[in-house]
Structure 1
Amino acid sequence: MSITTYKPSRGDLERLSKFRAPYQQTIDELKVKLKGIKYGCLEQDCYSPIEFVVGRVKTVESLLKKAEKKGVQVGNGNWIEDIEQHVYDIAGLRVVTRYLEDIREVQQILCEREDFQVVEITDYIETPKESGYRSVHLVVRYPTYHGSQKKEVLCEIQLRTMSMNFWATNEHELRYKYDEKLPVEMKEQLRRAADTAYELDLQMAQFRREIRTSQEMRLEDTVANEDKLEEIFSLYVKKDFNRAAELYQTYFGRDHDFAYNPKLQMIDEMLNSRLLKKPVS
């Protein structure tokens, strides 16, 4: 029976409401856990691969449409129970990241969790949909206790960058507006836009690598300069002023700037002001 003609009875609506409840609980619990990953990473590394998390349980209307697409005979037999066997994204979460590398990091974190099990991974980044859609979809089996009853619920977690999410959100709204019948020209424009968004992700990933390389080089430089200043300071404390002044000139000369590091700047200013006044015999 097609959902275009079938109208759920009051009893069916009550059953669907009870059916959806554990899924809503799963969304609520997993959102807390995903946000826990975000804030835990921020505390540890001052950076989180997770930008934000959103979630939803399919509405009754959306659920029935999806069930019919999956071949469920809506309105016949144990059709509500059949929905659970055929529809895996009744509960859905979306994790949005800044960078492509963040998606892989979040994917690894989720696969290593012990409080739920990843049962399926579909990589639409490696193999985009014909529309241009890109994302990584994880189907997880999550045990939840609804009342006194334990129930294992399937939930789909989508991993997207911000640009992927921007494209997908707009594409979804356009498909809804055109009742899933997008004009051919618009489909092609959307596909090109998806490719452009992915190129932006790749460019941002390259910028990030360059920034990280620069930061790592600066960190190595800071550590090296700290060692040099400590060596000079040790000589200064021992009153070996000549050797300290020689090393200072050898290591730094007059063309250096430690303004980026207050600690180095303080030590440097102290040594500079004192050592350069000491004659080197």
Structure 2
Amino acid sequence: MQPDPAVAPLLSTRAIEALQSIDPETLGEVQAFREDFARFIMPYKFGIDEISTKVSILREEFAELQDYNPIEHISSRLKSAESIEQKVIRKNCEPTFEAIRDAITDIAGVRIVCSFVSDVYRVFDLLTRQEDVRVLRVKDYIAHPKPNGYKSLHVILEVPVFLSDGPVRVPVEVQLRTVAMDFWASLEHKIYYKYDGEVPERLLRDLTAAASTANQLDLTMEDLHRQVRGEGGTVYSLPASV
């Protein structure tokens, strides 16, 4: 196979030689897989768009009509083919798109960072009360933190995505947390990345202590917030319907 003349100047000699060695049948299989993967992953991208739009609408409404906005910021991520492959191996999942769709529910992800712990549950309630949103699973790591101190509310939501051949329901993992929780989780991720998962014991102890400090900050800020608003003591949890 000869590379496109417009692309060839961007390729190394080794890459050009590799392309020339690929037989048309193999190349066709690779291109077919890329097209199949694009069709597989596209609904997840649109699922992110659906959730992000819903949260953005709530955020704009709060900003325009309410006395304060509980949503600090929103971010999202779509797992790469490499990340999906690694998870397929870890979960011992059959390597078919259908099996992956059933077994892996965090291909699409949205993170919502809120001002206070009570806002996390408030935004969760507002989001999940929408008629086209279905709650598949909830893991409340705020009420029940992980052993290392990690706190966040993890929710798998299913939303409809309307494609040209009809609607498809897509799972999206939504993580809701406070600014303090998000800062701690970001630091933990950077530390584990730097040490490739083999974090020194001293740093692990300091990280757990920092989680306790972040939790105390959330409690203090929540109480100050309620005092300013003239409300009672700290009360927050998942809605009774969950």
TM-score by length of structure 1 reads 0.68
Counterpart selection for 1:46 from 67, 71, 78: 67
Count of matched residue positions in the alignment of Structure 1 and Structure 2:
203
Could you say which residue in structure 2 is the equivalent of 1:23?
44
Is the CA contact 1:110–1:118 (under 8 Å) kept in the aligned structure 2? Answer: no
Could you say which residue in structure 1 is the equivalent of 2:90?
69
Is the CA contact 2:55–2:127 (under 8 Å) kept in the aligned structure 1? Answer: no
Could you say which residue in structure 2 is the equivalent of 1:254?
none
Question: Which secondary structure state, in structure 2, belongs to the residue aligned with residue 130 of structure 1?
Answer: coil
How many Å separate the matches in 2 of 1:104 and 1:205? 13
How many Å separate the matches in 2 of 1:23 and 1:188? 37
How many Å separate the matches in 2 of 1:172 and 1:11? 35
How many Å separate the matches in 2 of 1:180 and 1:65? 16
Counterpart selection for 1:185 from 202, 205, 210: 202
How many Å separate the matches in 2 of 1:198 and 1:66? 31
- Matched to 2:201, the amino acid is V
Pairwise CA RMSD of aligned residues?
1.8
- Matched to 1:23, the amino acid is Y
Is the CA contact 1:93–1:155 (under 8 Å) kept in the aligned structure 2? Answer: yes
Question: Which secondary structure state, in structure 2, belongs to the residue aligned with residue 94 of structure 1?
Answer: strand
Counterpart selection for 2:76 from 29, 47, 55: 55
Q: Which has the higher contact order (CA 8 A, sep 6+)?
A: 2
Does residue 157 of the first structure (1) align with residue 174 of the second (2)? yes
Instruction: Flag as ranges the 4+ runs of structure 1 deviating above 3 A.
Output: 8-14
Q: How does 1:206-221 map to 2 (within 5 A)?
A: 206-213=223-230
Which of structures 1 and 2 has the bigger CA Rg? 1
- Matched to 2:184, the amino acid is W
Could you say which residue in structure 2 is the equivalent of 1:5?
none
Q: How does 1:177-256 map to 2 (within 5 A)?
A: 177-213=194-230
Question: Which secondary structure state, in structure 1, belongs to the residue aligned with residue 137 of structure 2?
Answer: strand
How many Å separate the matches in 2 of 1:21 and 1:93? 16
Is the CA contact 2:94–2:100 (under 8 Å) kept in the aligned structure 1? Answer: no
- Matched to 2:167, the amino acid is K
| % identical equivalent positions | 35
**5+ long unaligned stretches in structure 1:** 1-7, 215-281
Query: What CA deviation, in whole Å up to 9, does each residue of 1:75-96 have, x standing for no partner?
Result: xxxx232111111110000000
**5+ long unaligned stretches in structure 2:** 1-28, 232-242
Could you say which residue in structure 2 is the equivalent of 1:12?
33
Relative to its length, the structure with more helix (as a share) is: 1
How many Å separate the matches in 2 of 1:183 and 1:15? 43
How many Å separate the matches in 1 of 2:208 and 2:83? 25
